[in-house]
Each structure stands twice: as C-alpha cells, then as structure tokens.
Structure 1
Amino acid sequence: MTEDWKQDRIAAAHRGDNPTVIGRLPEAFAVIGDVQWLPGYCVLLTDDPAVGRLTDLPRARRLAYLESVERLSTAVEHACAASDPAFRRVNIEILGNADPFLHTHVFPRYEWEPPEIIQRPVWLYPVERWSDPQTALGPQHDPIRAAIAAHLHDQT
C-alpha cells in the first residue's frame, strides 16, 4: 500500500482510503496518530479541508466540532487508562501552525515520561520522535486503536 493518502488526509478519509481513520464524528474524522510514542495519540481532522480555523465554522458547526473533540478525548482517556496504569491525563491542542486545515491533537500523558517533560507540552520532545520508525503506527498498536474505536462507538 502506498502512502499517497498522506498528501490529502481529509480527501482520503472521505474516500475511505485513509487507514488511520478510527471513527466518523460530527464535522470530523477521528484518526490515530502516525506515531505512537505516546500510545493512544490521536488527531481529530475537520471533514472540510476549506476550514482553516475553528472560527471559520458557523457557531452550530463549531459546537459540533468541539463536541467531537470532547468525544475523542474521552475515548482516548478511557482506552489509555484501561491499558496502562501509568496513564495521567489527556492534553488537547488546536494549533494550526503547520497544516492549513482545522485539526486537534489529543495526547495521552503518562507517569513514565521523562521528568523534564512530564509537566510540559509534548512539543518539547525531540523532533525526531515524529519520524522514529520504532514508534511508527503499526499492527502492535491495534489493541489501543480498537479500544479507542470501541469507546467512541459506545458514546453514540
């Protein structure tokens, strides 16, 4: 399988070609992250690539998107807490500095993280973490992915 879907993740999600999609939510697609150095890391992608920021959405659609953020973060929290007793919390971030479309990062945080980073933003981890083949999404992440999907489904 090629990774052409990465060139336009949203269009690929609409076509059913984005293998990271774990669920469809109002105004968004829930996807598992390409890297899993924080197991359970997910992203909520807008379903409309023309939407660059949260404020581009009319109020009703904005609230629907934020409800989807809440649903994904709750699913990640429940799945990660059940799979790792060192789970601490979930961090939620809407940044928009690199990708031109609305998306939200959902980062699980753990007690086993380095002490100099555990209470700081994940962006302080070395940049190499984002391309480390050791933690790239793969079949070994199927259990946490399935658990998040199940928790998403249970909320409907």
Structure 2
Amino acid sequence: MKRRVLSAVLHVPLPPEAAFRLFTARGERDWVPGWEPVFPVEAPDDTAPGTVWLTSSHEEETTWVVVARDVPHTVSYARITPGVRAGTVTVALAAAGAGSEVTVTYDMTPLTQAADEALGEFARDYPSFIRSWAELLTAHLA
C-alpha cells in the first residue's frame, strides 16, 4: 500500500479574501453538486479549528475536521473515511493579479488493499479532478 500526496493548481477569478469561502464546508455547497455537509454540533464558523462535519457519497461516510486555518490564505482539513482512507486536504490561496491561484493538496493513506487500488485510480485522475473543480467554479461565478 502507498500513501499518496497529490497537488494541483487552479485559478479563481476572485482575490483570496473573496475566494476563501468557496473552499469551506458551507461555501462548497454553492458550486459542488450534491455537497451537503452535516454538522453534528452547531458550527457558526465552519473554518474554526476543531469544527467537525460529515459527508456521504458512494456508500461511504467521511468525517472532516478543520485542523488549521489562516484566513484567507490556507485551510487544512483532516478527512477520515473509516476503514477506507485517512489524511488531509489543504487549500492554499495566493493572490494572482485580480484573482487567486489555488493549490489543492490531498495527502491520503489507504487503510485497506482495495482502498489502495481506489486511491491509485484517484491519483491517476487527480489532474482532471481539479480541472472539474475549475469548471464548476467558472460556471458558478459566471
């Protein structure tokens, strides 16, 4: 089995101060189809370290925890799908002209052989995965 650290950059035509929200639990609702985070405890600020939410997809439930933030520059989440995979997702925003260069890094460890194979497929498709984010964001912001 193999830990995978995957990183890619996309451009968002908003400065970091405006783009940051798009990469939060609630902000992704605006542009990610089917993204419905559930907060087991009320979370007035969904970027506060320690904030927890759950997502469900493909018959998996994932627990997310905000581990660090530096608004509007970075936010890091622990992402644990019990019995499948665990790791972090970090989003870093840097001003680029009137917009932002957004670096999205997944650092994931598989917990089973089947998860290792699925994570390998995800790694091979990661560039197109991030391109799909760019396309969804472009459509949302148009």
TM-score normalised by L of structure 2:
0.33
Q: Which has the higher contact order (CA 8 A, sep 6+)?
A: 2
Q: TM-score, normalised by structure 1?
A: 0.31
